[in-house]
Copies of this chain bind each other. A is one copy, B any other.
Amino acid sequence: MDGNAIVLTSGLLDTKNAKTAHGLIRGTERYNIVGIIDEKFEGQDAGEVLDGKKRNIPIYKSVEAFQCDSSEKADYLIIGIATKGGYLPAEMVDYIKSAIKIGCSIVSGLHEFLEDKPEIVELAKVNKVNLIDVRKPKPSKELHFWNGSISKVTTPIVAVIGTDCNMGKRTTSRFLMEAMREKGYNAHMIYTGQTGWMQGGKYGFIFDSTLNDFIAGEVEHAIVSCFENENPDIIFLEGQSALRNPNGPCGTEFLISGNAEYTILQHDPVRKYFQGCEGYKVTIPTLKEEIDLIKIYRSETIGVTINTKEVNEEQAKSFQEENEKALNIPVVAPLFDGVDRIVEAIEKKVLKK
């Protein structure tokens, strides 16, 4: 573990923009989360704000309030939100400066880098803390080309693919890894986003800030490394975006280059347009259409997991029943029901138990 961390969401904790914070509240092996900085939810518990489950992570209105009221010391301040375009919101700069002054290194997964902000760089230098730009692209010499070594991996690989971005793929991947581990399996997860790294992921890379030529090779390298070092029973592969998302279609890298012979498909029963593509002629496909497309890429969809941000338990249940009947695979709502039924499907179809 790297140390104690506070997470900055400044008023956005209950929005989809705070997905980095949400992941960290749900669990991370890289940091011990000792507080959230969000003036809107001051005094509440972050777990309760997220999904009603108390997690003993207090929310403070400011870095100063954290320092005053908490018995813990923070080694890091993590920027807990993703913004459109990856820009660092101007109103966050003061929070960052305050954190640097109390000795926090800053962790950011934004496209706009901390190290490009002279005032922050200078202050960090004076206070002897680090600026960690997680999304900073690696130069090509540190990246891998695909070379076919994926062929030697005998561990089954399950991709968690979504019908759109920002739907819960990472959370589902993590739930599956944890549930399989609880049952005694040596389960691993390949992270492909900045939050996955912040949650302690050992194998993976940051998909969207990688030069395109190396995407397939980085997927392969992460899986092969995990296979060689961990001797896993199963590997989950966190997907990104969606196969037909106009904003940035992707997914074949996982299915073909990463040889994910099995897929769990994450879906939002309500969303019609791809996020950020409202009004564009391409709409989110049906589950059946997406499963058929995934099959073309040689992967079998063995379960569907649904995002329940916009539906209640009853609506979720009715969607599940209807689709389970039509598709003949388990359809579950991880945040309501957990993922036990998906784990059963994995045991049966993937591990052949």
Measured CB to CB, the residues of A under 8 A from B are: 84-86, 111-112, 137, 140-141, 145-148, 150-151, 207-213, 215-216, 243-250, 252-253, 256-257, 276-277, 279-282, 293, 296-298
Contacts and interface: CB of A to CB of B under 8 A. Distances in A.
How many chain copies does the complex carry?
A: 2
A257 B246 contact: yes
A248 B215 contact: yes
Given A212-B209, A293-B296, A252 B256 contact: no
Nearest to A213: B208
A146 B248 contact: yes
Given A148-B279, A209-B212, 15 more contacts: A84-B145, A86-B140, A112-B140, A146-B246, A146-B247, A146-B276, A151-B280, A151-B281, A208-B211, A210-B211, A216-B249, A244-B252, A246-B257, A248-B253, A248-B257
Nearest to A240: B212
Contacts of A140: 86, 111-112, 209
A280 B276 CA distance: 37
Contacts of A211: 137, 208-212
Closest 4 CB pairs of A and B: A208-B213, A249-B252, A216-B248, A111-B140
Nearest to A244: B256
B247 A252 contact: no
Given A211-B137, A211-B208, A282 B296 contact: no
A284 to B, nearest CB: 12
Contacts of A213: 86, 111, 208-209, 248
A207 B212 contact: yes
Contacts of A86: 140, 213
Contact of A148 (B243, B245, B248, B277): B277
